[in-house]
Amino acid sequence: MAALALLPAAGEAIYFRDKISWRSAIAPSEMVTVEQARGWGDTAIWVDARPDDEFASDHVPGAISLNEDRWNELLPPFLAVWVPGKKIVVYCSSLSCNASREVARRLRKEAQLSDVFVLEGGWEAWLKKNR
């Protein structure tokens, strides 16, 4: 039975090969580097998925705070600012954090937004490139 389950699992792995990466938790098409995101200029909205205190201490200029702790409270102001066609760049603390991935996933699924990207390396990467 354990061996039999391998068959449909293999089939599903082939079917979903473009939707999931075996190397990173985020599909390559959903990742963006600091350089790419900066290149988008005003066509991108930056979303800070870190906790409130970290956002308060410092953040990407113009970024909007949208974290999971206060999701219901912060989502409406974010949607008020968002304009169709604008790209959304979500970041959290570093490469190892999950918050940006989760916020990006919820923006796609719950808010039905497209063009949502996760910043590779997060806030740490942004700081490195801007110092």
Q: Which residues bind other proteins (CB under 8 A)?
A: 1-2, 4-6, 8-10, 12-13, 16, 19-20, 22-25, 98, 101, 105
Complex with other proteins: residue 6 or 81, whichever CB lies closer: 6
SS3 116: strand
Complex with other proteins: residue 10 or 79, whichever CB lies closer: 10
SS3 117: strand
Q: State how far the Cα of 131 lies from the Cα of 99, in Å rounded to an integer.
A: 24
Alpha helices by DSSP H, 4-98: 6-15, 34-39, 52-57, 71-81
Complex with other proteins: residue 50 or 101, whichever CB lies closer: 101
Residue 19 C-beta: closest distance to other proteins, Å: 6
Query: 9-40 burial, b for 16+ CB within 10 Å, e for fewer?
Result: eeeeeeeeeeeeeeeeebeeebbbebeebbeb
Q: Across the chain, how many H-helices and E-strands are there?
A: 6, 5
Residue 80 C-beta: closest distance to other proteins, Å: 25
Complex with other proteins: residue 16 or 57, whichever CB lies closer: 16
Residue 82 C-beta: closest distance to other proteins, Å: 24
Residue 40 C-beta: closest distance to other proteins, Å: 25
